[in-house]
Amino acid sequence: MAEGLARAILGDGVRVQSAGSMASRVHPLAIQAMAEIGIDISDQTSKSIEAIDPGGVDTIVTLCAEEFCPAWFGSPARLHWPLPDPTAGASDEERLARFRTARDELARRIERLR
């Protein structure tokens, strides 16, 4: 979601790369939550940190809260935005609500980067 939001909010003048500690999949509820605001992330893929070109990194934003947060060595600016894992929840309705909350909070924070 952060990648899709950053691309939509920051535009083509910013190179956005996204990765996590372990590549898996883009969660279907993340795709649904983003589609609700007109952003299609269905073609995005989950990538591991090894997929990132370190030469093109000016700022690192980490989102991990309870889970493992990948280490990055070097001198880019760092922002830590810990957000609760939206996949935690008893039902799809509860998880979707958590994805919406995470989406909206990410959008607010990314807007401040402009």
- Render pLDDT for 25-84 as a digit per residue (tens, 0 to 9): 899 999 999 999 999 999 999 888 888 888 878 888 988 876 667 666 677 888 889 998
DSSP bridge partners of 60: 78
Q: Which domain holds residue 41?
A: 2-113
* Alpha-carbon gap, residue 102 to 15, rounded angstroms: 22
What CATH number corresponds to the domain at position 78?
3.40.50.2300
Helix (H) or strand (E) segment spanning residue 59: strand 59-62
Q: Which amino acid is at 11?
A: G
In the predicted model, is pLDDT for residue 21 greater than 90? Answer: no
Quickly tell me which residue has 């996949």 as its tokens: 87
| Residue 76 identity (one-letter amino acid) | P
d(CA 63, CA 49): 13
Do the Cβ atoms of 27 and 55 come closer than 8 Å? Answer: no
**Amino acid at position 41, single letter:** I
Which of the two residues, 91 and 21, has the higher pLDDT score?
91
Number of domains in the chain: 1
pTM: 0.88
- Interval 90-114 mean pLDDT: 96
* 5, HSE (Cβ side, Cα atoms, 13 Å): 22
